[in-house]
Structure 1
Amino acid sequence: MHTLVKGLIAGAAGTSALNIASYLDMLIRARGASSIPEQAAGRLADLADVDLGQGEQAGHRKEALGALLGYGTGAGAGVCYALLSSGRRLPWPAGVLALTALAMTGSNAPLALLGTTDPRQWSAADWISDAVPHLAYGVAAYAADRMLSS
């Protein structure tokens, strides 16, 4: 199977796991969804001089664009891992940690650069809330990558 396709599939599996972990956290802690992806989508649209509309229409578009950016980040992390590990089989701890780090960096670095969050200001609970879903991403993406490499 082509390396890019394998990376996209592994990234999709990881993104599904990340979303499931996030929704379980929302269910267990009765918390609302983060508005940061919407804020980032709005900032990107402003920077690109793209009109998302007004009022409720703009809000819906920001919400959709924020979610799509998350899927793109998951796919990108999977592809990066597939390209970097091509021809090698990393042991599970290293592979899972590499995928987790790629996903966390791929999501948090752009958000910080856009000014929608500042990880330096996060509490321990904030870090755990971010790390656990990304770890779920790493586990699922690694498992998919290994299964596709068999």
Structure 2
Amino acid sequence: MIRMLLLGAAAGAAGTTALNAATYLDMAVRGRPTSSTPEDTVEALAGVVHARVPGDDDTRPNRLTGLGALTGIAAGVGAGAAYGLARAAGWRPTILVGTIVTTLAVEVAGNGPMT
């Protein structure tokens, strides 16, 4: 079971890296700025748990940026790990069903907190 969890987490990390690379390539090609959505999400989640991200006017935005990026990584690795655990538990979907379920899980994990 641990092996499948780690394989799933590694697959999630690879998928997250590919998504980040595509995002940064798009930013470089089109000259578009970064999105503030990850930082906004961290701020909203901090409010839900009644926590405050510390820092002054210079350091706090940097912390929010770092935490925003880490939430995306955690969502991707976590979704991969969950898929690995599901496989270890005996779930053997077809490639199409596995792809659809994994995509939906990653969308919920990554975008759910943003709403």
Alignment TM-score, normalising by the size of structure 1:
0.66
Q: CA RMSD in A?
A: 1.8
Partners of 2:27 and 2:34 within 8 A in 1: yes
Partners of 1:52 and 1:62 within 8 A in 2: no
Partners of 1:11 and 1:78 within 8 A in 2: yes
* Other-structure match for 2:72: 70
Residues 1-150 of structure 1: matches in 2 within 5 Å?
Answer: 2-48=3-49, 49-86=51-88, 87-112=90-115
Q: Structure 1: how far apart are the matches of 2:55 and 2:93?
A: 46
Deviations 1:39-68 (A, max 9, x none): 111222333323421212000000000001
* Other-structure match for 1:148: none
Q: Structure 2: how far apart are the matches of 1:20 and 1:68?
A: 15
Paired residues, what number?
112
Q: Which runs of 5+ in 1 are unaligned?
A: 113-150
Deviations 1:11-42 (A, max 9, x none): 11111111112112222332111101011112
Partners of 1:12 and 1:74 within 8 A in 2: yes
- Describe the SS at the equivalent of 2:58: helix
Partners of 1:45 and 1:52 within 8 A in 2: no
Alignment TM-score, normalising by the size of structure 2:
0.84
Q: Structure 1: how far apart are the matches of 2:39 and 2:114?
A: 11
Q: Structure 2: how far apart are the matches of 1:23 and 1:98?
A: 26
- Describe the SS at the equivalent of 2:108: helix
Equivalent pairs: percent with the same residue? 38
Partners of 1:11 and 1:76 within 8 A in 2: yes
* Other-structure match for 1:138: none
Q: Structure 2: how far apart are the matches of 1:16 and 1:91?
A: 25
